[in-house]
A and B are shown apart, each in its own frame.
Chain A
Amino acid sequence: MNMEILVCVKSVPDTEESEIEVNADGSDIKRDDLVYTINEWDNYAVEEAVELVDEHGGSVTVVTVGDDQCEEVLRREMAMGANHGLLLMDDAFEGSDGKGIANILKAAVEKESYDLIMTGAQSDTGAGQVGGMLAALLDYPYASLVNSIEVMDEKKLKVGREIEGGNQEMNEIDLPCVLSIQTGINEPRYVTIRGIRKVSSVEIPTLGASDLGVSGDSVGTGAARVKRIDYFLPELGKGTEMLGGDTEEIVEKLIGILEAKGGLK
């Protein structure tokens, strides 16, 4: 059947290896010691794409908007099984808001012909917006929080969306379409050492603003209508009583509290 799939991925701070801390003037988080990794949701999306192509034929392209350092996540996903990688990089892209990123990706989509476009359901900013925006810009149907995909024929898919209460909303969606993928949809495979070897000598093409035909007024800081001003630490809840002391003291206090609040049977 052959499916040409594009998966949009993002390089994000690895919260398992690094602490997220706000810098001194609140302008950003401290990035010096950060280790970056593939956004967890995107990894599930790539695995899903590779499984679809394993079954139906075709190829998987992973794309990211970023800098040189972001190439690493592209390589990781290619070592995992994606066939092609694409880096979209240009100074003009700096400071883009969600719509700006979607505009950049739209230009990349229009350079080729893809049957299916996937993103992760969200990333480190917790926004989960790029997929939906990209779909609307392309006028493709969209489904978010997808936790199951079944190919019905070369014109449509049956997808399940994860909704409240642990229920699943089943939909039929026309191709080409955009899907945002939820964690737990599959079990991402290991990066094999052969995959690493295969990918180590591959050149990953880079496209800039003029290659993509993206105009300055649709991307970058200038075009951004939503701008982050600062970072700060949220306050502890006002009513939160933090218990101190050594373990024995804490245990005693907890038992007292549990008794008072009806936690003991």
Chain B
Amino acid sequence: MSRLFAYISHKGGLADDTALELIHAARKIDAAASVTAVITGSGADLDTVCTEMAASYREVWKIDHQALAYPNAEAIRKALANILPADGIVLIGNDTLGMDLGPGLSIKMDSSFAVDVVDFEGTDGSTLRLVRQEYAGQVSTHVDCDISAGAVITVRPGAFRPDESRVADGRVVDKSGDAGDLRVGRRFLEIVEAEVGDIDITRSEVLVSVGRGIGDKENIEIAKELADALGADLCCSRPIVDAKWLEKLRQVGSSGRTVKPKVYMAMGISGSFQHLMGIKGSPFIIAVNKNPRAPVFQVAQVGVVADIIELMPKLTEALRRGSR
């Protein structure tokens, strides 16, 4: 079996959640293999993350270069292609950096590419069987990936539990010298931060969240009334913001806000992984959707197959009656 690598994303000296999840992902590919963490960056932040990861990975490859100070996928790709063995199996978290980095890396390393993997089901010779989803999570598929010449695999964040045992006592190996010429055709300029407005759903304890199932802009009122009756805040998934029915500040998801409520009511939300990535802290999820096979039912604690337009007003009414 080829060597396994885990690419570690980090920001401000802190490794991303996926860093420890990749350990379990790797173990599912090959239980006996030891995985090498690969971390790019520059300066003190990089050092901090490397030290931190050495507690979980037996070997940590550090690639320190000015061009990698900001995680520019174009430069990272070049460095990794220069440093990693061509037949290596590289695991990357499927976040916005992974999406940017992965496909091109597989070409440069002349490896197979598998994306947004949620599970591994073992190896047969040089074929790795994995599980991913299509049609926004409505169906799953088994995929056979030829790893004889290596592979680049992006792993869905949250699909694997993090390994928090920290018993590795690993060593950090400086591979910076092998990075090579990292001049690239794309240059990072700046980050434009999301607007801060008077709505901050990241602090909400109870959220009523609407998705495409709301149907019509007018129906949002129904959800608002339910939220009011609960003393909760209103939020939504991406399509609602794309349609301009609610402000971007109310969007929950990987490209929106991250929320940590106690109770999350997913109303008419299908449950795409990008949306679910915005929900942290294991809240109690109540999902209502007309489609019994909506992916959201895979993660909810309580599910109801129903039309939210009919159910929400009834719930609101009952709440109003019940409360004094």
The answer, among A15, A124, A231, A237, for a CB contact under 8 Å with B299, is A237
The answer, among A168, A173, A226, A234, for a CB contact under 8 Å with B186, is A173
Neighbouring A residues of B100 by C-beta, 8 Å? 132, 142-145, 161
B interface secondary structure, majority? mixed
Q: How far apart sit A258 and B232, CA to CA, in the bound complex (Å)?
A: 12
Listed A/B pairs (18) with beta-carbon separation below 8 Å? A22-B139, A98-B103, A98-B113, A133-B107, A166-B194, A171-B186, A172-B186, A174-B185, A184-B242, A235-B298, A247-B314, A250-B304, A254-B302, A254-B304, A255-B319, A262-B206, A263-B262, A263-B263
Q: Is B129 an interface residue (CB 8 A)?
A: yes
Residues 83-120 of B contacting A (Cβ, < 8 Å): 95-97, 99-100, 102-108, 112-116
Q: Is A126 an interface residue (CB 8 A)?
A: yes
* B: contact size bracket: 35 or more
Contact between chains at A126 and B230 (CB < 8 Å) = no
Q: Is A241 an interface residue (CB 8 A)?
A: yes
Q: Is A35 an interface residue (CB 8 A)?
A: no
Q: Is A20 an interface residue (CB 8 A)?
A: yes
Q: Which 5 pairs, one residue from A and one from B, show the smallest C-beta to C-beta distance?
A: A132-B103, A265-B231, A141-B185, A166-B194, A136-B107
Q: Is A158 an interface residue (CB 8 A)?
A: yes
Interface flags, A239-265, vs B, CB<8A=1, else 0: 111110001101110110110011111
Q: How far apart sit A261 and B113, CA to CA, in the bound complex (Å)?
A: 42
Contact between chains at A133 and B248 (CB < 8 Å) = no
Q: Is B241 an interface residue (CB 8 A)?
A: yes
Neighbouring B residues of A133 by C-beta, 8 Å? 103-104, 106-107, 113
Contact between chains at B141 and A166 (CB < 8 Å) = no
A interface secondary structure, majority? mixed
Taking the nearest CB of chain B, how far is it from the CB of A16, in angstroms? 9
Which one of B107, B116, B190, B231 has the greatest number of beta carbons of chain A within 10 Å? B107
Interface flags, B67-78, vs A, CB<8A=1, else 0: 000001110010
Contact between chains at B114 and A226 (CB < 8 Å) = yes
* Known contacts A145-B99, A257-B302: A172-B189 contact under CB 8 Å: yes
Taking the nearest CB of chain A, how far is it from the CB of B268, in angstroms? 14
Nearest A residue to B323 via CB reads A264
Contact between chains at B297 and A242 (CB < 8 Å) = yes
The answer, among A20, A29, A241, A263, for a CB contact under 8 Å with B230, is A263
Q: How far apart sit A258 and B311, CA to CA, in the bound complex (Å)?
A: 15
Which one of A140, A163, A231 has the greatest number of beta carbons of chain B within 10 Å? A163
Contact between chains at B310 and A247 (CB < 8 Å) = yes
Contact between chains at B293 and A233 (CB < 8 Å) = yes
On chain A, the number of residues with a Cβ less than 8 Å from chain B's Cβ atoms is 80
Contact between chains at B194 and A251 (CB < 8 Å) = no
The answer, among B134, B186, B315, for a CB contact under 8 Å with A142, is B186
Q: How far apart sit A264 and B263, CA to CA, in the bound complex (Å)?
A: 9
Q: Is B181 an interface residue (CB 8 A)?
A: no
Q: Is A164 an interface residue (CB 8 A)?
A: yes
The answer, among B135, B232, B323, for a CB contact under 8 Å with A124, is B135
Q: Apart from A132-B102, A142-B104, what are 5 other A-B pairs with CB-CB below 8 Å?
A: A164-B258, A167-B191, A168-B194, A240-B300, A242-B297
Q: How far apart sit A131 and B73, CA to CA, in the bound complex (Å)?
A: 14
Contact between chains at B304 and A262 (CB < 8 Å) = no
Q: How far apart sit A262 and B232, CA to CA, in the bound complex (Å)?
A: 11
